[in-house]
Amino acid sequence: MTSLVVEEALARAVPGARAGRLQVVRRDRRARGRGWAELSADAVVAALEAAGAAAVVLARAPSADPGARALPALARIMGRQVVRLPADADGAAWAVGMAAAWEPGEGLARRLQVLVGAAGGAQTLPRRSVGQRARMPAVRPVVLARWAGCAWRPCGRCAGGGLPGAPCGCCGAGVSGAGA
């Protein structure tokens, strides 16, 4: 079974995320509730080793969460596949929740790359008349996983890819609609 590795601040934003396939990298809270402390390199390495060589790491870009920059960096050094989550904490938490609900299988990383493109696209959905951001559509995880497997397109810049018109799930470059 493929494990998904995520840091604690994101995992806590997802109800029930500690159970199942998520390997959570422990992250301390700062004094007086002032956010999250920087990830310990030792905690990251321990979580990656516990998750195994086939683990997929879900992490936001260092610019979105500088305190968690050790997770994607060490994951790449240790040969783990990294899927770049949206910078928006809500979109990232939604993607982690959906990923945790999916069944592992062939093409998991590709499906996750499409998922994060869809989650990042929620930031550009039209706003409702009362100024609220539109919510992500309510789609069963199995249906979304099947769609994501069909929607994936390669990135022209790296070995990753994602949803056409959205950022690549690996490097963040725009994914074109051409190719398969």
Whole-structure pTM value: 0.83
Other CB atoms within a 10 A radius of the CB of residue 26 amount to 14
In the prediction, which pLDDT does 131 show? 39
- Torsion over CA of 121, 124, 128 and 129, rounded to 10 degrees? 180
In the prediction, which pLDDT does 20 show? 66
In the prediction, which pLDDT does 122 show? 47
In the prediction, which pLDDT does 73 show? 97
Per-residue pLDDT tens listing for the chain (180 residues): 678 999 998 888 887 655 567 899 999 888 776 788 999 999 999 999 999 999 999 999 999 999 999 999 999 999 999 999 999 888 888 888 888 888 777 788 899 999 888 887 644 433 333 334 445 556 788 888 889 999 999 999 999 999 999 999 999 899 987 655
In the prediction, which pLDDT does 13 show? 83
- The residues spanned by each domain of the chain are 4-162
What token pair was written down for 69?
Answer: 């920059």
Other CB atoms within a 10 A radius of the CB of residue 174 amount to 14
Residues sharing a CB contact under 8 Å with residue 68, sequence separation 6 or more, in sequence order: 7, 9, 27, 36, 38, 39, 59, 60, 62
The closest alpha carbon to 162, from 25, 4, 174, belongs to 174
Which phi and psi (to 5°) does residue 121 adopt? -70, -20
